[in-house]
Protein backbone atom coordinates (compact mmCIF):
# COMPACT_ATOMS: atom_id res chain seq x y z
CA UNK A 1 0.00 0.00 0.00
CA UNK A 2 1.55 3.37 -1.03
CA UNK A 3 2.20 5.97 1.65
CA UNK A 4 -0.73 8.33 2.23
CA UNK A 5 1.78 11.19 2.15
CA UNK A 6 1.99 10.59 -1.60
CA UNK A 7 -1.76 11.02 -1.87
CA UNK A 8 -1.53 14.21 0.19
CA UNK A 9 0.96 15.55 -2.36
CA UNK A 10 -1.45 14.71 -5.18
CA UNK A 11 -4.26 16.47 -3.31
CA UNK A 12 -2.08 19.42 -2.45
CA UNK A 13 -2.91 19.45 1.25
CA UNK A 14 -1.37 18.05 4.43
CA UNK A 15 -3.94 16.44 6.73
CA UNK A 16 -3.92 17.32 10.41
CA UNK A 17 -5.19 13.79 11.10
CA UNK A 18 -4.00 11.37 8.43
CA UNK A 19 -6.27 8.65 9.81
CA UNK A 20 -9.28 10.52 8.41
CA UNK A 21 -7.69 10.34 4.98
CA UNK A 22 -7.03 6.63 5.50
CA UNK A 23 -10.65 6.05 6.51
CA UNK A 24 -11.79 7.62 3.24
CA UNK A 25 -9.97 4.82 1.40
CA UNK A 26 -11.36 1.90 3.45
CA UNK A 27 -14.08 -0.14 1.76
CA UNK A 28 -16.51 -2.06 3.97
CA UNK A 29 -15.22 -5.39 2.60
CA UNK A 30 -11.78 -4.78 4.10
CA UNK A 31 -13.15 -4.61 7.64
CA UNK A 32 -15.09 -7.84 7.15
CA UNK A 33 -11.81 -9.55 6.37
CA UNK A 34 -9.65 -7.64 8.87
CA UNK A 35 -11.59 -7.33 12.15
CA UNK A 36 -8.37 -6.29 13.88
CA UNK A 37 -8.22 -3.09 11.80
CA UNK A 38 -8.60 -0.14 14.18
CA UNK A 39 -10.30 2.24 11.77
CA UNK A 40 -13.75 2.50 10.21
CA UNK A 41 -14.97 2.08 6.65
CA UNK A 42 -15.65 5.12 4.49
CA UNK A 43 -19.44 5.12 4.20
CA UNK A 44 -20.08 7.87 6.78
CA UNK A 45 -17.48 10.09 5.11
CA UNK A 46 -19.10 9.27 1.77
CA UNK A 47 -22.46 10.42 3.16
CA UNK A 48 -20.92 13.71 4.27
CA UNK A 49 -18.88 14.24 1.12
CA UNK A 50 -21.92 13.72 -1.08
CA UNK A 51 -23.70 16.59 0.68
CA UNK A 52 -20.65 18.89 0.52
CA UNK A 53 -20.16 18.15 -3.18
CA UNK A 54 -23.82 18.84 -3.91
CA UNK A 55 -23.93 22.22 -2.15
CA UNK A 56 -20.63 23.46 -3.60
CA UNK A 57 -21.61 22.56 -7.16
CA UNK A 58 -25.12 23.95 -6.68
CA UNK A 59 -23.81 27.25 -5.31
CA UNK A 60 -21.31 27.58 -8.15
CA UNK A 61 -23.96 27.01 -10.81
CA UNK A 62 -26.48 29.29 -9.10
CA UNK A 63 -24.02 32.19 -8.82
CA UNK A 64 -22.27 31.84 -12.16
CA UNK A 65 -25.25 31.11 -14.42
CA UNK A 66 -27.95 33.53 -13.17
CA UNK A 67 -29.99 33.37 -16.39
CA UNK A 68 -30.01 29.58 -16.76
CA UNK A 69 -33.31 27.79 -15.99
CA UNK A 70 -33.49 25.46 -13.01
CA UNK A 71 -34.00 22.41 -15.22
CA UNK A 72 -30.74 22.99 -17.08
CA UNK A 73 -28.84 23.66 -13.87
CA UNK A 74 -30.15 20.38 -12.48
CA UNK A 75 -28.87 18.49 -15.53
CA UNK A 76 -25.49 20.22 -15.38
CA UNK A 77 -25.13 19.44 -11.70
CA UNK A 78 -26.05 15.80 -12.27
CA UNK A 79 -23.35 15.52 -14.94
CA UNK A 80 -20.75 16.81 -12.47
CA UNK A 81 -21.66 14.68 -9.44
CA UNK A 82 -22.67 11.37 -11.04
CA UNK A 83 -20.75 8.13 -10.55
CA UNK A 84 -19.22 8.22 -14.02
CA UNK A 85 -17.66 11.63 -13.44
CA UNK A 86 -16.47 10.77 -9.94
CA UNK A 87 -14.89 7.57 -11.24
CA UNK A 88 -12.93 9.63 -13.77
CA UNK A 89 -11.78 11.96 -10.99
CA UNK A 90 -10.71 8.94 -8.91
CA UNK A 91 -8.61 7.66 -11.81
CA UNK A 92 -7.01 11.07 -12.32
CA UNK A 93 -6.07 11.14 -8.64
CA UNK A 94 -4.82 7.55 -8.70
CA UNK A 95 -7.10 6.54 -5.83
CA UNK A 96 -7.32 2.87 -6.81
CA UNK A 97 -3.87 2.07 -5.46
CA UNK A 98 -4.77 3.54 -2.05
CA UNK A 99 -8.01 1.58 -1.58
CA UNK A 100 -8.32 -0.87 1.31
CA UNK A 101 -10.26 -3.79 -0.17
CA UNK A 102 -10.84 -7.40 0.80
CA UNK A 103 -8.86 -9.94 -1.20
CA UNK A 104 -12.00 -10.97 -3.03
CA UNK A 105 -12.96 -7.38 -3.87
CA UNK A 106 -9.39 -6.59 -4.96
CA UNK A 107 -9.40 -9.55 -7.37
CA UNK A 108 -12.87 -8.79 -8.70
CA UNK A 109 -12.43 -7.12 -12.07
CA UNK A 110 -16.14 -6.34 -12.43
CA UNK A 111 -15.92 -2.98 -14.12
CA UNK A 112 -19.22 -1.63 -12.86
CA UNK A 113 -18.58 -2.62 -9.24
CA UNK A 114 -15.09 -1.10 -9.17
CA UNK A 115 -16.33 2.10 -10.78
CA UNK A 116 -18.86 2.59 -8.00
CA UNK A 117 -16.30 1.85 -5.28
CA UNK A 118 -13.95 4.47 -6.72
CA UNK A 119 -16.73 7.03 -7.23
CA UNK A 120 -17.80 6.55 -3.61
CA UNK A 121 -14.18 6.94 -2.50
CA UNK A 122 -14.11 10.41 -4.10
CA UNK A 123 -17.16 11.42 -2.07
CA UNK A 124 -15.53 9.99 1.06
CA UNK A 125 -12.36 11.91 0.24
CA UNK A 126 -14.34 15.15 -0.02
CA UNK A 127 -15.90 14.37 3.37
CA UNK A 128 -12.44 13.75 4.84
CA UNK A 129 -11.09 17.03 3.45
CA UNK A 130 -14.10 18.88 4.84
CA UNK A 131 -13.70 17.39 8.34
CA UNK A 132 -9.94 17.83 8.50
CA UNK A 133 -9.35 21.00 6.48
CA UNK A 134 -12.65 22.86 6.55
CA UNK A 135 -15.18 23.99 3.96
CA UNK A 136 -12.91 26.45 2.14
CA UNK A 137 -10.34 23.77 1.28
CA UNK A 138 -13.03 21.23 0.39
CA UNK A 139 -14.65 23.81 -1.87
CA UNK A 140 -11.32 24.61 -3.55
CA UNK A 141 -10.76 20.90 -4.18
CA UNK A 142 -14.21 20.46 -5.74
CA UNK A 143 -13.82 23.52 -7.96
CA UNK A 144 -10.31 22.55 -9.05
CA UNK A 145 -10.91 18.85 -9.69
CA UNK A 146 -14.59 18.54 -10.58
CA UNK A 147 -16.29 21.82 -11.54
CA UNK A 148 -13.38 22.47 -13.91
CA UNK A 149 -14.93 19.77 -16.13
CA UNK A 150 -18.07 21.86 -16.79
CA UNK A 151 -16.93 23.70 -19.96
CA UNK A 152 -16.24 20.39 -21.74
CA UNK A 153 -19.57 19.00 -20.52
CA UNK A 154 -21.41 22.00 -21.95
CA UNK A 155 -19.45 21.87 -25.20
CA UNK A 156 -20.25 18.19 -25.82
CA UNK A 157 -23.75 18.35 -24.27
CA UNK A 158 -22.72 15.45 -22.05
CA UNK A 159 -25.24 16.70 -19.48
CA UNK A 160 -27.95 15.16 -21.65
CA UNK A 161 -28.44 11.43 -21.18
CA UNK A 162 -27.75 9.34 -24.33
CA UNK A 163 -31.46 8.85 -25.08
CA UNK A 164 -32.14 12.58 -24.97
CA UNK A 165 -29.04 13.36 -27.03
CA UNK A 166 -29.87 10.77 -29.69
CA UNK A 167 -33.46 11.95 -29.94
CA UNK A 168 -32.38 15.58 -30.22
CA UNK A 169 -29.86 14.78 -32.96
CA UNK A 170 -32.21 12.44 -34.84
CA UNK A 171 -34.96 15.04 -34.91
CA UNK A 172 -32.53 17.80 -35.91
CA UNK A 173 -30.63 15.90 -38.61
CA UNK A 174 -33.22 13.39 -39.86
CA UNK A 175 -36.55 14.85 -38.79
CA UNK A 176 -37.32 11.49 -37.14
CA UNK A 177 -38.15 10.54 -33.56
CA UNK A 178 -36.29 7.32 -32.70
CA UNK A 179 -38.15 4.32 -31.36
CA UNK A 180 -37.10 1.30 -29.32
CA UNK A 181 -38.40 -2.25 -29.56
CA UNK A 182 -37.67 -5.18 -27.25
CA UNK A 183 -35.77 -7.88 -29.11
CA UNK A 184 -35.38 -10.38 -26.28
CA UNK A 185 -35.62 -10.99 -22.55
CA UNK A 186 -33.30 -13.59 -21.05
CA UNK A 187 -32.57 -14.96 -17.60
CA UNK A 188 -34.58 -15.39 -14.39
CA UNK A 189 -36.85 -12.61 -13.13
CA UNK A 190 -34.33 -11.46 -10.51
CA UNK A 191 -31.48 -11.22 -13.05
CA UNK A 192 -33.20 -10.57 -16.38
CA UNK A 193 -31.27 -9.10 -19.30
CA UNK A 194 -33.20 -7.06 -21.85
CA UNK A 195 -32.07 -6.46 -25.42
CA UNK A 196 -33.73 -3.66 -27.38
CA UNK A 197 -33.40 -2.44 -30.94
CA UNK A 198 -33.03 1.22 -31.87
CA UNK A 199 -34.85 2.31 -35.05
CA UNK A 200 -35.23 5.41 -37.17
CA UNK A 201 -38.51 4.84 -39.00
CA UNK A 202 -38.11 1.20 -40.10
CA UNK A 203 -34.30 1.36 -40.26
CA UNK A 204 -32.59 -0.76 -37.62
CA UNK A 205 -29.64 1.21 -36.22
CA UNK A 206 -28.23 -0.91 -33.40
CA UNK A 207 -29.16 -2.84 -30.28
CA UNK A 208 -28.45 -2.38 -26.60
CA UNK A 209 -28.74 -4.51 -23.50
CA UNK A 210 -29.17 -3.99 -19.78
CA UNK A 211 -30.81 -5.20 -16.60
CA UNK A 212 -33.87 -3.03 -17.31
CA UNK A 213 -35.63 -1.81 -20.44
CA UNK A 214 -34.48 1.74 -19.68
CA UNK A 215 -30.86 0.66 -19.24
CA UNK A 216 -30.99 -1.26 -22.52
CA UNK A 217 -32.44 1.76 -24.33
CA UNK A 218 -29.72 4.03 -22.95
CA UNK A 219 -27.09 1.52 -24.07
CA UNK A 220 -28.57 1.41 -27.57
CA UNK A 221 -28.75 5.21 -27.76
CA UNK A 222 -25.10 5.55 -26.67
CA UNK A 223 -24.09 3.12 -29.44
CA UNK A 224 -26.24 5.02 -31.93
CA UNK A 225 -24.47 8.28 -31.08
CA UNK A 226 -21.12 6.64 -31.87
CA UNK A 227 -22.39 5.10 -35.12
CA UNK A 228 -23.50 8.48 -36.45
CA UNK A 229 -20.68 10.37 -34.74
CA UNK A 230 -23.28 12.55 -33.03
Segment 26-35 long-range contacts (CB within 8 Å, at least 24 positions apart): 26/100, 27/99, 27/100, 27/101, 27/102, 27/105, 27/117, 27/121, 29/101, 29/102, 29/104, 29/105, 30/100, 30/101, 30/102, 30/105, 32/102, 33/102, 33/103, 33/104
Which pLDDT score, from 0 to 100, does residue 1 have?
A: 65
Per annotation, catalytic residue among 105, 123, 132, 219: 123
46 is catalytic: no
Per annotation, catalytic residue among 19, 36, 43, 50: 50
123 is catalytic: yes
Q: Which domains does the chain have, with CATH numbers?
A: 4-156 (1.10.1520.10), 162-228 (3.30.160.20)
Which pLDDT score, from 0 to 100, does residue 110 have?
A: 63
Which pLDDT score, from 0 to 100, does residue 2 have?
A: 73
pLDDT in tens, the chain (230 residues): 679 999 999 999 999 999 999 999 999 999 988 888 888 999 999 999 999 999 999 999 999 999 999 988 988 998 999 988 999 999 999 999 999 998 878 777 666 788 889 999 999 999 999 999 999 999 999 999 999 999 999 988 778 788 988 998 999 999 999 999 999 999 888 778 999 999 999 999 999 998 889 889 999 999 999 999 98
Amino acid sequence: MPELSNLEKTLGCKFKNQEILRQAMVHRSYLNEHPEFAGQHNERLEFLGDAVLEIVVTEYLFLNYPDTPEGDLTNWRASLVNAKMLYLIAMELGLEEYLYLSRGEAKDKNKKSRHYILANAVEALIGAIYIDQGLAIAKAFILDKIVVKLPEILKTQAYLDPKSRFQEQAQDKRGITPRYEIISEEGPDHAKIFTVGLYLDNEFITSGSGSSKQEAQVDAAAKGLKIFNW
